[in-house]
Structure 1
Amino acid sequence: MKLYDVIVAGATGMVGRKMIQVLEERKFPVGKLFPMASSHSVGKRVVFNGKEWTVQELNEENIKNSHAKIALFSAGASVSRHFAPICAKYDITVIDNSSAWRMDPSIPLVVPEVNREKIFSGSKIIANPNCSTIQMVVVLKPLHDKYKIKRVVVSTYQSVTGAGQKGHDQLMKEWNEEEIQEMKFPHQISFNAIPHIDEFLDNGYTKEEMKMINETKKIMGDNSIQVSPTCVRIPTIGGHCESVNIEFEKPFELSDVREILSKAPGVVVQDKPLEKIYPMPIWAHDKDEAFVGRIRRDETVKNGLNLWIVSDNIRKGAATNAVQIAEEFIKGK
């Protein structure tokens, strides 16, 4: 089996650590692992395949000397904007988890179950979408192929882990009534819901909401799909939840919708509400699929459907999707 030397940039962060875990779990054919991060993390150790690997500083010299073929980035947009082109210069294919390249027309934005072919566009940088977008489009794509989506109204209920380690730590400290030196969220998150993720824009939407609008159209390859999102942070850890209302151009039968989703790659149907079976973060936690339930007709609009989607935002919403892109990349067209 051919082995690939792999850089993980941002290796000590929440998503970076999960990337390393997923690489091991999925038995990705790694030759040498090069965990890289800022100078503050140099010398730390990460464990991969039973071996300790020392964290190096993310800089051009270490990138060049690695001779890696693949780099998984989860180090923030500014870092990715600077170092991803440097990796590309040394013939390293970058799969970037930040927002830096997602809406660049020359950069593919990929969810393998939806638009695998874009991996092979020739770009040395491949963008990993926003977590809340990924789990939604995995479910939307097979339905769009059959019924053509006109409009989506989505309300998200997003885990604190979507804000990284600091978001997780704020919730834990609030629960434990510990002093908080630095607030990650603009308000208390425990026992609360905050309809404010990322910055507000002049149109009244947040950056997170605009990501869902723009990324959905790009990934699905259809600018006609209208998306109206409201993104909310809630005090959960296991994954993001989404209430999704879809209006199709064509009529559908609920039995057909369930059958289509049950056969869709990366989707698990949990839809037995009378038996109290429906997707929840505690069930989605540390799993790679998008779970869908509460499948029912919207009786207020023609060809309307309601869904409830839950997925682990650190795994499928970030680390797993990046590793899946790498897996498809080495398989080739």
Structure 2
Amino acid sequence: MYILVTGTAGFIGMHLSQKLLSLGYMVIGIDNLNEYYDITLKRNRLGILMENPNFHFENIDITDIDSVKKLFESFPFNKVIHLAAQAGVRYSIENPFAYLDSNVHGFLTILEACKDYKVSHLLYASSSSVYGNNKNKLSETEDANSPVSLYATTKRSNELMAYTYNHLYNIRTTGMRFFTVYGPWGRPDMAYYKFTKSIIEGLPIQLYNYGNLKRDFTYIDDIIKGIMLLFLHEQDINNKQPNEVYNIGNSRPYSLNYFINTLENVIGKRADRIELPMQLGDVVETYADISKIRDATGYKPKIELEVGLTNFVRWYVDYHKEK
């Protein structure tokens, strides 16, 4: 079975591709290797994947309609897992057009290819940011029509586009709202990565909203577990509900201050904290209600924060050769 993973050089894309390869799938990965963050990190992730003979990589931008079409003509994809996107909430305020290009135009290109080449199931990455500043535990039944960043708007647009293509062309689609993913090989633009770098190097860290934020930090292995359960339970889930969206999170939000305290203990060094006002486009709290994916697949996250951060810091020190 040929599986297409878009954004395969990304954080989640790399880990997911590794999992699929370990199960014997033929994985075709595409990525445009843009310079939003360190391209060397992306190439190193790819280097690990390319050690497996069942992995094939193409440097393709998902907005390039002709290249995407050629790819779908070359491989008989049974399923597509679409992770490629312009990431980052705050960057979307500075560079809004990059998000429309990649996250809307690019997603439309993938939808059209899935329609034209009869792909049986499209799984795609959405985000907890679609909930905006909704309070309390965030359920898929909650309103998700008040996003507070353009990034979130594009992700909500993806969900609506998937609904339309399911309605018009009977394409099975599954949206996955990820909640603050962290772990080894993570993204350098994420707060936990920046905090780790600054604490180790003795630099101050910036805590927005004066540290009064909560996040449903979810370890990468638990995210991959959720994706694979939806991937493998596709027949059971999608027969009656061919277009669905699921939260994939830890369902246990941690305050930013608790997170920093735990990170300090793991590193063995105190942080110099600078408290700042809330940033534009940010949300106060994320808290995943995971009852829907749990009831559908048996999903249950297992990795505790201290374990996840220990794994991340160990990887970070080894990767960056910090002393």
TM-score (norm 2): 0.42
Higher Cα Rg: structure 1 or 2?
1
More helix by share: 2
More strand by share: 1
